């Protein structure tokens, strides 16, 4: 072999890829990609709405839940449940609030049940298959209202309490473990405040006659976190309630607070309303309510004070 042929053979040998090295590099690449995907899967998702985009941005506060729990809540593989959770976390509804009465929520309940019975609203399990069917459900004083419509409700506070926290009991009498929409965490700042609202101040008022509104934990202002009636001693010990002695559920106390709440309508398929025959309650479901239509989440809390409406943060000063 001549020197020229030997040099050419040597050059080709050097250029020939080392298969074992290529295999190792490919394996390393796969490991890196797998770790990246795993890290993305394990990294908690942030809540999609930013604090500055909120209707109450002026007083909003960022919490751990806002960094770790998306609008669809805890993963469970149920797309219809995800859709309900996203509707619960609707902080982007627009429009001038339409004033509703307690009876309007009863009409919404009747209308939605009629649509279900007629097969126009189809359920997957207990959840609506197509939540757009809940929009523009009824006409009220010439305006269409339904899920997502921004409304306001003026009423008296029957009760106001944290739900699903470690200070609550589940149906088996054990400490509650949180709610799926809020990623199943039992701490106070991961759970809703459940407000039952009454049309009047009669002490004989029962909770089955009330309407529900919820203060979400997402970006909840510090003062709103105290919007409870103090009847749960565990909660009261950590966050003294602003409404202690000012709710209908506490007999022989001060005047129940009249409030006005603003936020979008929401159809909560996870619950059932009480059943009436005339004025008689024939079936109760917990938590008791006359309609599973709610104001959720709450955008604004106002109190009737000195013959005018003031925001909660100004009333509490």
pLDDT of residue 136: 98
Does residue 235 carry a pLDDT above 80?
yes
Confidence of residue 33 (pLDDT cuts 50, 70, 90): very low
DSSP 8-class letter at 129? S
pLDDT of residue 202: 86
Confidence of residue 19 (pLDDT cuts 50, 70, 90): low
More confident residue, 237 or 5: 237
Mean pLDDT in residue range 227-244: 96
Contacts with 250 (C-beta within 8 Å, 6 or more apart), sequence order: 229, 231, 244
Kindly tell me the number of DSSP H helices and DSSP E strands found in the chain.
7, 14
- State CA 32 to chain mean position distance: 37
Q: What is the pLDDT of residues 157-200, one digit of tens each?
A: 999 999 999 999 988 899 999 999 999 999 999 999 999 999 99
pLDDT of residue 250: 80
Q: Which of 47-61, 209-223, 250-264, 266-280 has the lowest mean pLDDT?
A: 250-264
Structure tokens at 222: 């510090």
Confidence of residue 137 (pLDDT cuts 50, 70, 90): very high
Give the CA distances from residue 61 to residues 50, 55, 85, 200, 302, in Å, rounded to whole numbers and listed in that order.
11, 13, 21, 33, 19
- Structural domain boundaries in the chain: 3-42, 64-315
């Amino acid at each position: 072999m001549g020197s020229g042929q030997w040099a050419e053979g040597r050059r080709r040998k050097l250029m020939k890829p080392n298969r074992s090295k290529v295999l190792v590099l490919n394996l390393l690449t796969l490991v890196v990609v797998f770790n990246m995907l795993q890290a993305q899967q394990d990294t908690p998702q942030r809540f999609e709405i930013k604090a500055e985009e909120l209707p109450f941005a002026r007083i909003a506060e960022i919490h751990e839940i806002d960094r770790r729990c998306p609008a669809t809540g805890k993963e469970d593989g149920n797309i219809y449940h995800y859709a309900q959770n996203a509707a619960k976390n609707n902080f982007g509804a627009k429009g001038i609030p339409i004033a509703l009465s307690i009876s309007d929520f009863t009409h919404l309940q009747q209308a939605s049940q009629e649509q279900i019975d007629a097969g126009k609203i189809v359920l997957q399990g207990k959840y609506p298959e197509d939540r757009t069917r809940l929009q523009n459900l009824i006409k009220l004083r010439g305006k269409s209202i339904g899920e997502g419509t921004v409304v306001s409700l003026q009423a008296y506070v029957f009760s106001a309490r944290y739900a699903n926290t470690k200070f609550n009991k589940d149906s088996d009498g054990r400490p509650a473990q949180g709610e799926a929409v809020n990623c199943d965490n039992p701490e106070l700042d991961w759970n809703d405040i459940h407000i039952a609202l009454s049309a009047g101040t009669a002490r004989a008022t029962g909770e089955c006659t009330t309407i529900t509104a919820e203060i979400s934990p997402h970006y909840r202002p510090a003062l709103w976190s105290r919007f409870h009636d103090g009847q749960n001693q565990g909660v009261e010990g950590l966050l003294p309630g602003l409404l202690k002695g000012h709710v209908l559920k506490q007999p022989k106390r001060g005047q129940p607070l009249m409030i006005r709440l603003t936020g979008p309508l929401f159809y909560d398929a996870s619950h059932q309303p009480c059943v009436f025959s005339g004025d008689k309650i024939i079936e109760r479901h917990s938590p008791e309510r006359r309609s599973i239509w709610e104001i959720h989440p709450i955008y604004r809390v106002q109190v009737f004070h000195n013959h005018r409406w003031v925001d909660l943060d100004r009333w509490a000063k």
